[in-house]
Chain A
Amino acid sequence: MRIFSVSHKTAFVVDHCPYMAESSRQLIECDMLTKSRSQGVIPLAPVSKSLWTCAIECSMEYCRILYDVYPTKKLVNYIVSDSEVHILNSWKQENQNTQELMTALAAVGPPNPRQDPECCSVLHGLVAAVESLCKITEYQHESRTTLMDTADRVANRGRIICLTNAKSDTHVRMLEDCVLETIQEQNKRAAGSDRLMPIQQCELVLVHIYPQGEETLVSDRQKKELSSVLSSEVHSVRAGRYLAGKLNVLVQQHFDLASTTITNIPMKEEQHANTSANYDVELLPHTATVLNPFSHETVTLKWCTPRTNSVELHYCTGAYRISPVDVNSRPSSCLTNFLLNGRSVLLEQPRKSGSKVISHMLSSHGGEIFLHVLNSTRSTLEDPPSISEGCGGRVTDYRITDFGEFMRENRLTPFPESMVDAACRTPVERAKFQLERHTRYWPMIISQTTIFNMQAVVPLANLIVKDTLTDEDVLTCQKTVYNLVDMERKSDPLPISTAGSRGKGPKRDEQYRIMWNELETLVKAHVGTSERHQRVLDCISACRSKPPEEEERKKRGRKREDKEDKTEKNGKDTEEKGWTTDSERLKGVMEREKDEQSECEIIKDSPDSPEPLNKKPRLATEEQQPPEKSKGPVSLLTLWTNRITQANSRKHQEFAGRLSSVNSKAELYQHLKEENGCVDLIFYLIVQLYFCMDENSFWDLLSPI
């Protein structure tokens, strides 16, 4: 398919000279008296259309079909010619509709029989048509602009359909010569202009219209090349239905349409509401909809019941707009209304063998009717291995429902053309960005997650993925966290998967630790989005549970093992999910540690920093108790201490001094009491760190400082 083929531009030139006012002599009886009323009334004389009226209504029918099947990119320029030229529209897409043309035609009116025939000619129109074909269309312009260096790939071709009443074959020859000459002239002019393009190929279709009952003075002639640019054909047709038939054939040829008849359409009879008769409707879709595009006979497709429903996804190899041949006939409008009301119908192609094959579907989308071509032959994809046999096919606890919810949240919707956001992203880029945000932490299976199995986490999980949070959103997130703290205090059970682990699974406090860790992972993935996201993380860090010391000590050994298991398991998970690689994870740990240290530098500068020993490194359980009750502001130091305490407690063997302490208080670093100051604080921290980890990692950690 080429967009800039001859059919991209069609110039209609209709003769408006006095002789076109002549009657077509096709009489139409419009006084159809009903029998009961007809007595004693003399019927009115039948009316007859002029040649002009015949030409206009047939050309309008041509345009109607064209615009139905090709609402864009196939353009018509309508020109009327008498003593001057009337150009009724332009190549602009917005001018391409029959209403606009009808309005303009009404303004022109029928030819004036009293006008001087000497100064009237269709030649003016033909010259204007050639000039018009040189004018660039918006599509040509757009294409040329996009192609830049290769703009010469954009071709300029077109067709002139001239409806006239010629005097003789010589007259026809004169019209052809005139078009040829004008093309040569205009092409020279166009070569030097930006808004004009030389015509590379032009098809002239001359239609000579003569009244019924007369002999034609012009002979038919098949398409003939008059030059490398211009070809011409002559059709000599009687006005009335012959002309209509001719233009119908032409529109099919020019735009590759194939007459297709839908047969056996059951329709209710007006008189007998409970019976139905079968009707046929002829449509014009693109030739690609039929098997044999070279046959000139109409293709027959049979109406099929039962109908199809809209939630079925058919394998469809093409969909083409249609136009009914007889748009206002009762069967046609019955069928089109049926389809426009949103129903679809399957069609079958009669086969020689008599077997039924469903091959097409008629369906409307947004008020336009399409003929869908369905694949009716054997599929090369038949009998594929089921998805359950492939990778990941043996896993049974995918979060199918949650991902369904995720898909609903990420449904697409059209936005107006002008709609770009502050970052100049198109809507589709925003859609991708949203998917990225929503999947930063998204475990695929139920046993991989705790928080997404908890109703209580939903408000936070829904909000944290948003690009911007309001203060109210932050509050909701905080409430979620407090709620979790409350649950922990009440020792509510958590939906932790016991799959794979022997026995009852982890203890309650361990469960909560896993839950808090996961929640932190989720929120950390979004912490860079905004300061408000950070506040949510701060809230979690401040509120999350820390294992009580006594317990800690007792279970030290076991926990360490668990911990190692856990890290290993997590490590495996992350690899599988592709979140991070091992090295990245290590780097992350290092960076976190560094962060913690830089935080302590901030504290150093803060005049509000309390003295280190006033905050005890290990708080008694009671003192630490219910965080939800201490909703007041928490200092950064508290946050930090809490976090590092907790982190450390998991990393190291208990400090010997503390083990031998009384009431969890050991007399250590006594000198710090006397010497106030930040340097000491750092020193204190470093020393503490030293005790937290083995020697090598301690020095590794310190080396960047």
Chain B
Amino acid sequence: MPTAVLLDSSLSMTRPVSVEGSEEFQRKNLAVHGLTMLFEHMATNYRLEFTSLVSFSSLWEVLVPFTRDYNTLQEALNNLEDYDKTCLEAALQGVSNIVQQEWGTSCPCQVVLVTDGALGIGRGSLRHSLQTVKQRVEDKKFPLPFPFPSKLYVMCIANAEELQATDSMDNLEQLINLNGGEGQIYTMEGPLCLKSVQSMFGKLIDQAYSPFHAVLRCGNLTSDVQVFPRPEPVTIDEEVDPMPRTVQTDLEIVGFIEIGDISSPPVLSRHLVLPIAVNKEGDEIGTGATDDTEEETSTNQMAGKSPNFCVLLHGSLKVEGMVALVQLGPDWFGMLYSQADSKKKSNLMMSLFEPGSEPLPWLGRISQLGPASDAAENPYGEDDSKSPFPIQPKHKRSYAQNVTVWIKASGLQTDVQKILRNARKLPEKTQTFYKELNRLRKAALAFGFWELLKSMAELLERECTLLSDSAHPDAAFQLSHAAQQLKLASSGDSKYAAYEHNITPMLTDFSGGGGADRI
């Protein structure tokens, strides 16, 4: 989930804050301090996150495009310049554009807006933007809600009282509401100082950037893992089941399926599963800032050399072309597989299916999947030539069952011509002739289209008169028999017009097995 940091660089950010201590701070310094803390956290615990830094005033500018290089981001923070007034709408539009350009509209993104809460005056101010939000034309729409799934975090270098004194708080709340309620406003508690800015960014880190640690299990084989990006809570039906579901920290493998059988399933999100070394006290190696780096490297080397289940699993999944089905929570599953980024680098990945008992129609209900060895007969065949998947649905879809549709005249004409073509090749095509005739008859009865039955009967009678002298004598019998049956059906008489009834070929001296003797 990439992060776009949107930093207010208007003049109001240079307002000094009164601190009892010796040094005098500007709000900007506090903002930079908070962001430094955020970037440091990401560099250590969330280093695969892509982050971009955008500064704005009446204009906006991408200081650092999306990157994992936190040094560059930090450097940009140290070289900020001050500009004129705050104009948030343009900046939000800018963020919306750069996110869409880079990640499209399906990738969830976090936007961290850092501002002092002085949201501008007159045209271009947030107040003005919000007042006119409903009077926009199509191409000048307010940028919120963002067209991609998003969270908007507003970090105010101001305390709540200050914001409530003006309408800033109301405006910011309205902003979050416009984003479908996706986001949160953070304010500073107590005096504006380094400590309170730290505590505010600490809350953001806990909320949005805490790493997700879990235990991956396959029976008794286990591995401690970090799942990145961390899986976010999911709500499937906000009405029936409004509680968002979260991925549990115990990821239990339930079995294995061939890649061909799982067959590019739709997934909610994709995550890297990275094995981590956890020492005996349960602390993750590398979290403590006081750790001696040399010691850390040696522990990492140690961790590299001791066997890890993730690596074994990854290797075998890759070689065998299989995926592991993994349980993420009650009635919620996902799959683990090997994903090659380039030819050399490959990784263990986890994709989350939609929560529910049957996320993939072609696998059926997951709770009904059991070990193949329990089946009376090996469903994969003794030589691996078979597969129990995909599961066939009870009813065939329309395109798989030769349905009759006469909405366009051509559909009807084709069906009539098909019957006539076969009629001219009687008795060789007797079976096809009656099959097509019955198909037409059934549809005409269901549609209440008796007129067609009569016309078809007439057409068959005329075919009969047009038969050449060399025609097989059976053809005439079958044609007049079929015509007569259609006429009876078109009478609506329940004896002949029953839907399930089929017109069967007439038994003549020329048809059937005994014919040859009598000629």
Contacts and interface: CB of A to CB of B under 8 A. Distances in A.
A381 B466 contact: no
Contacts of A306: none
B388 to A, nearest CB: 4
A380 interface: yes
Contact of B364 (A99, A340, A381, A414): A414
Interface in A374-418: 375-395, 398-401, 403-404, 406-417
A454 interface: no
A318 B317 contact: no
Given A316-B264, A435-B219, A398 B254 contact: no
Contacts of B456: 30
Contact of A427 (B221, B312, B369): B369
Interface residues of B, number: 144
Given A316-B265, A318-B266, A103 B500 contact: yes
A153 interface: yes
B180 interface: no
Interface string A24-68: 000011111000010001001101111011001110110011011
Contact of A61 (B236, B238, B322, B407): B407
A448 interface: yes
Contact of B304 (A32, A369, A391): A391
Given A391-B308, A392-B308, A313 B255 contact: no
B266 A319 contact: yes
B229 interface: yes
Contacts of A375: 104, 106
A375 B106 CA distance: 8
Contact of A109 (B266, B417, B497): B497
B312 A437 contact: no
Interface in B255-275: 255-260, 262-267, 270-272, 274-275
B237 A411 contact: no
Contacts of B344: 386
Contact of A411 (B242, B257, B451, B466): B257
A409 B373 contact: yes
Contacts of A442: 219-221
B368 A417 contact: yes
B304 A68 contact: no
A436 interface: yes
B442 A410 contact: no
A167 interface: no
Given A2-B238, A448-B307, A415 B459 contact: no
A381 B304 contact: no
Q: Which of A106, A384, A434 has the most CB of B within 10 A?
A: A106
Interface string B283-322: 0000000000000000001011111111111111101111
Contacts of A310: 259-260, 263
Contacts of B255: 410-412, 428, 431, 435
Interface stretch (B78-86, B194-202, B394-402): B394-402
B393 A368 contact: yes
B454 to A, nearest CB: 8
Nearest to A428: B367
Contacts of B348: 387
Interface string A424-442: 0011101110111111101
A107 B443 CA distance: 12
Interface stretch (A322-330, A631-639, A646-654, A664-672): A322-330
Contacts of A311: 259-260, 321
B178 interface: no
B307 A50 contact: no
B374 interface: yes
A693 interface: no
Given A311-B260, A576-B306, A381 B388 contact: no
Nearest to B384: A408
A577 B218 CA distance: 13
A431 B316 contact: no
A297 to B, nearest CB: 16
Given A241-B408, A319-B266, A404-B319, A438 B400 contact: no
Nearest to B349: A381
A523 interface: no
B407 A58 contact: yes
A428 B254 contact: yes
A291 interface: yes
A74 B399 CA distance: 19
Contacts of B59: none
A29 B325 contact: no
B63 interface: no
Nearest to B345: A386
Given A391-B275, A407-B320, A102 B442 contact: yes
Contacts of B221: 439, 442, 444
- Name B's interface SS: mixed
B425 interface: no
B272 A384 contact: yes
Nearest to A57: B447
Contacts of A318: 266
Contacts of A414: 363-365, 368-369, 388-389, 391
A71 B104 contact: no
Q: Which of A109, A392, A393 has the most CB of B within 10 A?
A: A392
Given A391-B303, A394-B305, A408-B256, A369 B399 contact: yes
A328 B414 CA distance: 10
Nearest to B398: A64
B8 to A, nearest CB: 26
B511 to A, nearest CB: 25
A155 B239 contact: yes
A327 B254 contact: no
A431 B368 CA distance: 10
B380 A411 contact: yes
A48 B228 CA distance: 64
A237 interface: no
Contacts of B2: 380
B346 interface: yes
Nearest to B380: A411
A556 B159 CA distance: 77
A278 interface: no
B455 A44 contact: yes
A57 B347 contact: no
Interface of B: 1-2, 48, 50, 102-107, 218-223, 228-229, 236-242, 252-260, 262-267, 270-272, 274-277, 301, 303-317, 319-325, 337, 339, 341, 344-349, 351, 361-375, 379-380, 384, 388-393, 395-400, 403-409, 411-414, 416-417, 442-443, 445-452, 455-456, 458-459, 462, 466, 492, 497-500
Given A106-B445, A317-B267, A392-B311, 15 more contacts: A56-B448, A57-B447, A67-B395, A143-B240, A244-B407, A310-B259, A315-B351, A321-B397, A381-B349, A410-B256, A410-B371, A411-B255, A428-B370, A435-B254, A439-B221
10 contacts: A30-B455, A41-B462, A44-B462, A50-B451, A98-B398, A109-B497, A111-B448, A366-B393, A368-B362, A388-B311
Interface of A: 1-4, 28-32, 37, 41, 44-45, 47-50, 52-53, 56-58, 60-61, 64-65, 67-68, 71, 97-99, 102-103, 105-111, 143, 147, 153-155, 241, 244, 291, 310-319, 321, 323-324, 326-328, 332-333, 336, 340, 361, 363, 365-369, 372-373, 375-395, 398-401, 403-404, 406-417, 419, 426-428, 430-432, 434-440, 442, 444-445, 448, 576-579
The 10 A-B pairs with the shortest beta carbon distances in the complex, nearest first, are A392-B308, A427-B370, A110-B448, A377-B104, A439-B219, A366-B390, A106-B499, A365-B362, A435-B219, A102-B446
